[in-house]
Structure 1
Amino acid sequence: MSHRIINPDGLHDPVHFGYSHVAVASGELVFVAGQYASDADGHVTTDDFAEQVEESFDNLRTALAAVGLELSHIVQLRTHIVDHDSDKLAILGKAIGAIWGDLPPTQTLSGVASLALPEMLFEVDAVAVRP
């Protein structure tokens, strides 16, 4: 299976963290690495959970746009929440509902003790399908 790795402009350079933002496999499947509320230098932009969720999905949107796709092309999400609780689940559910309405993609949510950077409270990665 051939694949292509892409690190789009508008997102921080992730290579020194040991990953890339997007992988396109066989021209049909697109894999997007964990996105978080980062600026162009990879710094976390806010300590507010809801804002981190929103900015993470904005970065996911940017990653997909680099290969001509949109959030509607996502078939699977994996979300990671530091110190997961029902309040954070409600915030995530509201964000997903605003994007996908009544037809969200599949999702696996993991409650975790920490993520790659101490300031990170949320991370999302995705698999999309090119139509």
Structure 2
Amino acid sequence: MTIELIRAAGLYAGVEYAYAAVAPVGALVFTAGACPLGESGATVGPGDVRAQARQCVTNLFAALVASGAGRRDVLKTTVYVASAERTDLVAAWEEIRDAFGTHDAPSTLLGVVVLGYPDQLVELEAVAMRPSL
């Protein structure tokens, strides 16, 4: 069994990890945490939880597509928000929930102390099932 590490075109190439990993066709896809980085590698929307959540969704969906999966193939998400304020967690969740529409897969929402990139407030990871090709 060979694992394929995904480097998604159009996402910032300077990160020190793959954007997703895929096992054989029809297997699970585990994504790295999608960060609010633009194509230049800069954090999008410093201080703006909603803007960062939207960028995380955009980046997550790009990694999923590069892995042969899509939004409707997601089995679970985990959302990290660097804030002790529930209003910030709710704001991030609302953006992510809206992006998934009626596909309301299980999710975990966590407030954390700090995330890895400068000015980063939100990170989003997923487990998905790649459909048989």
TM-score (norm 1): 0.87
Residues 110, 14 of structure 1: alpha-carbon distance in 2 compared, 3 angstrom cutoff = farther
- Find the aligned partners of 1:40 and 1:97 in 2 and give their Cα distance: 24
Does the CA-based 8 Å contact 1:14-1:21 persist in structure 2?
A: no
- Find the aligned partners of 1:65 and 1:112 in 2 and give their Cα distance: 28
- Find the aligned partners of 2:84 and 2:94 in 1 and give their Cα distance: 15
- What letter matches 1:36 in structure 2? C
Tell me which residue corresponds to 1:63: 63
1:29 equivalenced with 2:28 (yes/no): yes
Once the 2 structures are TM-superposed, how far is the Cα of residue 120 of structure 1 from its aligned partner?
0.3
Whose strand proportion is higher, 1 or 2? 1
Does the CA-based 8 Å contact 1:84-1:112 persist in structure 2?
A: yes
- Of residues 95-104 and 34-43 in structure 1, the stretch that sits farther from structure 2 once superposed is 95-104
- What letter matches 1:33 in structure 2? A
Equivalent positions of 1:116-127 (< 5 A) are: 116-127=116-127
Among the aligned pairs, what percent are the same residue? Answer: 30
- What letter matches 1:62 in structure 2? A
List alignment gaps of at least 5 residues for structure 2: none
Equivalent positions of 1:43-58 (< 5 A) are: 43-47=42-46, 48-58=48-58
Report Cα offsets for 1:16-74 as digits up to 9, x if no partner: x3x21010023310111011111123210211110000010000011111122211111
Equivalent positions of 1:3-18 (< 5 A) are: 3-15=3-15, 17=16
